[in-house]
Amino acid sequence: MTMPDSDFPMDNGTSCLPIPPDEEIRIVSELIKDSELNMKEGNLYYVISNRWFSSWQKYAGPCVGMLSNDKQSSNSQHANEVDSEIAARPGPIDNSDIISNDNNCDDNNLDIHRTLEEGADYVLVPQKVWERLLEWYKGGPALPRKLISQGVGQKQHSVEVYPLTLMVTDARDNHKSTVKLSKKATISELYELVCKIKGVEQKKAHIWDYFNFTKNTLLTVSDQTLEDANLMMDQDILLEVSLDRDRSHSGMDSVGNELALIPLEPPRSSLSIAGGPTMSNGHSTGSSFNLYQGTSASSSLTSMDDKNDNVYRGERGGLAGLQNLGNTCFMNSALQCLVHTPPFVEYFLQDYNEDINIDNPLGMCGELALAFGDLLRKLWSSGRTAIPPRVFKGKLARFAPQFSGYNQHDSQELLAFLLDGLHEDLNRVKQKPYIEMKDSDGRPDEEVAYECWKNHMARNDSLIVNVCQGQYKSTLVCPVCDKVSITFDPFMYLSLPMPSTITRTMTVTVFYGDGSGLPMPFTVNVLKLGCCRDLCTALGTACCLKSDEMLLLAEVYDHKIFRYLGNPLEPLSSIKDEEHIVAYRLKKGPRKTKLEIMHRDNMRSGDRKLFGSPLVTYLVEDPQFGANIKASVHKILSPLRKAYSSTKSRNGKEDGFISTGSDEQLNISSTECESLTGCSEQEGTSYGESSFQLFLTNESCLSYDPIEKDSLIKPSQHIRVFLDWTGSEHELYDASFLRDLPEVHKTGFTVKKTRQEAISLFSCLEAFLTDEPLGPDDMWYCPRCKEHRQATKKLDLWKLPEILVFHLKRFSYSRYLKNKLDTFVNFPIHNLDLTKYVKTEDGQSYVYDLYAISNHYGGLGGGHYTAYAKLADDNKWYHFDDSHVSPVTEAEIKSSSAYVLFYQRRREVQMEGGSQVHTGSH
């Protein structure tokens, strides 16, 4: 779309006159929409500092489709306050805060800081948007970046914010320089750029992959991309220049001697890619090498990457580390856990060629399984030499672009993708049949579960399914029609919530609407995704609510009822921890008139100031007179009466009282209150009487009219009154019970103490298996109601696999808050018995032993990952911290950093008499 020039008034063609901000945002929004419709590889986007862009958005308005986060806005309320202000027009575009100081490369592209986050530190705008903003505001500098396409099969577009940076070493003089180009650039383009910078004829140049300062692979001029050649960010390449102009297959070594380029020796390994023996010339006697020769799947087979010149044949296998390639500790941690999984070791050290499924559209053409198997063999045959997993990372980025680049990612997310990818690459089912799932329709669980597993196996048969997949029972219940839906679904791992992430502690003050008791705060535990009905149920249990009573929830703000929480299905997420929630305990029955009583203190200055919590009751008389109102006020306040001793009161002394908190005093107060139906203001009784001043007010509480005994109150479903407290009222009633309402959840010492307490793995599992209402964004379509319902979901374990993986959900996310729970989870190392949790009655026992842990240290957006793994042959634990590997004791592996737990089921040996003995893991 081309915008007309009339939209942009120019000043002599050199400067742009300001246009209205709403016009700016309209033009930019149209240009963004146009760019989304015409998105293709090679389009230019420009990086703009979020500091400047946020100031522009405050001036012009929010821009649809743009990621921007004002760092100064810590919550929505503050953000709204900022947005409501009339912001000034920003000055020139200023990208100085995101530009790196190390811009010493040989091209003109400016670098930006490596640690920046899109939406928080910078935004990306299409080229046309940048041009308009530059016309209107000037400034800069321009930071253009290209849109690239990543992934195999389903392409994913992304802007290459950080081009590939390579360190060039010139073998002639060891001079080092830097080149930057897209990872989608070809090796031919790399030659062209390097030769241009160095002033070398291309036919004389020879560029080597010089990773770890080792000549790994000669990069030949071709259309292969740098990404497919496994070139990494900031790695070294070596330029050699031939002196013989007539010989294209020669080169010079680093001291100037003429080189004869010879075929490279293949990786030194006692095993081929598919497990067959390797001959002295490096060619496999198995069929896998010839089968994949020349295909994309063979790239990891013939590459010199990950080679090891120092293999310690006498060293124990499985003790090699993995080099960190730049924020790849998350990947290294996950990989070490998988390569120390006993069934995986046994499988990938054998010939698995027949299982490779290159035609599976859901797989990765077998490449991911081949790369993983190749890496596992190297780790088990390299002694203690650390391996750089470049080929594997390249394959990973090829099929999962979300893991490309060098940002920190999540080891749980990687494990989920990797297990699924390995399964599809090794799936023995070549043609998946179409199977229509049937409803359970009241059939026995055993029959439905068997049918579901049989159907699953008809489409999925691999090592991963055989050893890693289990089955759970999922029960959904409609909250309206009670329709029950039961399904049996496979799982690859169990994501266990920390108990504190699915429940929340809420404190609510309960008031008696009939004046039969003192207000009392109650603290209850409820589901975070629950609703007000769940809170009322928990409160009812805590305060011993009678069958003929109900609770009315309300939020109190500034000593007034801010809102009533009358909808039982309103989510509890709408109640914040800092709010004050009260519940009014009322009799069930017909509702006529709600009476809301607010308290005002008469100050010595004559002013009236609101205090305390409002009281709420229902009036049954109709029509309403002032006398009815006053009688109800006296009744509801009766528990607050100060009870004077009879001796003191007869002497007229007021120097002592006891609270009416006891049952005896409550009975006296209630009896006395009943005598006040006519609201006779008796003076000189044993307890004294108050002549409260009541004022009728409106919803906004801005007007107030005095209420007399014979005042006729206009019929209304909601009557609001002010109750004025004077010195005499304070002498007769204890107003402290109305003050200082507790917050829903008070953060402080108690919470910190709780977070340090240990919880068991069983508590996490039970939280996972607890009934839970679906969230508002995850509604279930009820086939009986023909409506989406917030159903209740219940999970049960039905079939457990040999390898059981637990994810501990330590991270919680919301719109304005990201949090990590460092709670220590006490997990068994030996004899984890889950038999009682398995619902199928197969007579088997399910006892597991721990063999690996993925750890996460630090907070969000960073931190560090390591792994603990046990070597089965020597029954010892080791700590894998990237390249560093060290022994640890069993006592050391338990920590609050445990993130993913790997268990193996113990073997059962049937003894005489039918008893079972566990002898160890498979």
Say if residue 293's pLDDT is above 60. Answer: no
Q: Is the dihedral of CA 893, 896, 900, 902 positive or negative?
A: positive
Q: Give residue 556's pLDDT.
A: 93
Q: Give residue 753's pLDDT.
A: 37
Say if residue 757's pLDDT is above 80. Answer: no
66: which 2 tokens?
């743009």
Q: Which candidate, 810, 850, 858, places its Cα nearest to that of 833?
A: 850
Q: Give residue 668's pLDDT.
A: 35
pLDDT (mean) for 890-918 = 78
Q: Spell out the residues 6+ positions from residue 403 whose beta carbon is closer than 8 angstroms to its own.
A: 331, 393, 396, 397, 409, 414, 417
Beta strand 792-799 pairing with 470-477: antiparallel
Say if residue 282's pLDDT is above 70. Answer: no
pLDDT, one tens digit per residue, over 766-787 is 888 888 777 767 788 888 888 8
Say if residue 17's pLDDT is above 80. Answer: no
Q: Give residue 734's pLDDT.
A: 86
Instruction: Note the maximum CA span of the chain.
Output: 127
Give the full edge-to-edge strand order of the sheet including 704-706: 608-619, 593-602, 718-725, 693-697, 704-706
Rounded Cα distance between 340 and 187, Å, is 36
Residue that is written with structure tokens 């900031």 in the block:
234
Q: Which candidate, 470, 465, 459, 460, places its Cα nearest to that of 435?
A: 459
419: confidence class by pLDDT, cuts 50, 70, 90:
very high
302: confidence class by pLDDT, cuts 50, 70, 90:
very low
* % of the chain at pLDDT higher than 70: 75
Q: Give residue 13's pLDDT.
A: 38
pLDDT (mean) for 835-851 = 89
Query: DSSP string of 472-496?
Result: EEEEEE-TTT--EEEEEEEES-EEE
Beta strand 712-713 pairing with 235-241: unpaired
Residue 156: how many CB atoms within 10 A of its CB? 12
pLDDT, one tens digit per residue, over 39-73 is 888 889 999 999 999 889 888 887 765 644 444 33
Say if residue 700's pLDDT is above 60. Answer: yes
81: confidence class by pLDDT, cuts 50, 70, 90:
very low
Q: Give residue 663's pLDDT.
A: 37
Q: Give residue 66's pLDDT.
A: 61
Q: Which candidate, 750, 821, 743, places its Cα nearest to that of 506?
A: 743
pLDDT (mean) for 148-154 = 71
Rounded Cα distance between 127 and 40, Å, is 13
pLDDT, one tens digit per residue, over 341-375 is 999 999 999 998 899 988 888 888 888 999 999 99
Q: Give residue 914's pLDDT.
A: 52
Q: Give residue 852's pLDDT.
A: 95
pLDDT (mean) for 192-198 = 91
Q: Give residue 285's pLDDT.
A: 30
Q: Give residue 76's pLDDT.
A: 37
Determine if the peptide bond prior to 623 is cis (ω within 30°): yes
- Note the pTM of the prediction, 2 decimals: 0.63
Say if residue 386's pLDDT is above 70. Answer: yes
Rounded Cα distance between 459 and 434, Å, is 8
Q: Give residue 333's pLDDT.
A: 93
Q: Give residue 406's pLDDT.
A: 63
Query: DSSP string of 784-795?
Result: TTTEEE--EEEE
Question: Are 805 and 902 in contact, with CB atoms under 8 Å apart?
Answer: yes
pLDDT, one tens digit per residue, over 196-234 is 998 888 888 999 988 888 888 899 888 888 888 888 888
813: confidence class by pLDDT, cuts 50, 70, 90:
low
822: which 2 tokens?
């460092």
Residue that is written with structure tokens 């699924």 in the block:
420
Rounded Cα distance between 640 and 730, Å, is 10
Question: Are 847 and 907 in contact, with CB atoms under 8 Å apart?
Answer: no
Q: Give residue 230's pLDDT.
A: 84
Say if residue 261's pLDDT is above 90. Answer: no
Residue that is written with structure tokens 């993925």 in the block:
854
Q: Which residue has the higher pLDDT, 874 or 914?
A: 874
Q: Which residue has the higher pLDDT, 691 or 5?
A: 691
Among the listed ranges 142-156, 312-326, 493-507, which one has the minimum average pLDDT value? 312-326
Rounded Cα distance between 559 and 580, Å, is 10
Rounded Cα distance between 180 and 234, Å, is 10
Catalytic residue annotation: 329, 864
922: confidence class by pLDDT, cuts 50, 70, 90:
low
| Dihedral pair phi/psi, residue 875, rounded to 5° | 55, 40
What is the three-state SS of 608-640? EEEEEEEEEEEECCCCEEHHHHHHHHHHHHHHH
Question: Are 419 and 411 in contact, with CB atoms under 8 Å apart?
Answer: no
Delineate the domains of the chain, giving CATH numbers in brackets: 21-65+89-160 (3.30.2230.10), 164-241 (3.10.20.90), 500-642+692-738 (3.10.20.90)
- Counting other chains too, the contacts that 83-91 makes at CB distance below 8 Å and 24 or more residues apart are 83/58, 85/58, 87/55, 87/58, 87/59, 88/59, 89/18, 89/21, 89/59, 90/52, 90/55, 90/56, 90/59, 90/137, 91/137, 91/139
Rounded Cα distance between 462 and 492, Å, is 12
Q: Give residue 116's pLDDT.
A: 81
The DSSP code for 203 is G
Averaged confidence pLDDT in the chain: 77
Q: Give residue 598's pLDDT.
A: 92
pLDDT, one tens digit per residue, over 579-630 is 999 999 998 877 778 899 999 988 777 788 889 999 999 887 666 788 888 8
Among the listed ranges 103-117, 456-470, 710-724, which one has the minimum average pLDDT value? 103-117
677: which 2 tokens?
């139906």
Say if residue 751's pLDDT is above 70. Answer: no
Rounded Cα distance between 372 and 273, Å, is 10
pLDDT (mean) for 532-554 = 90
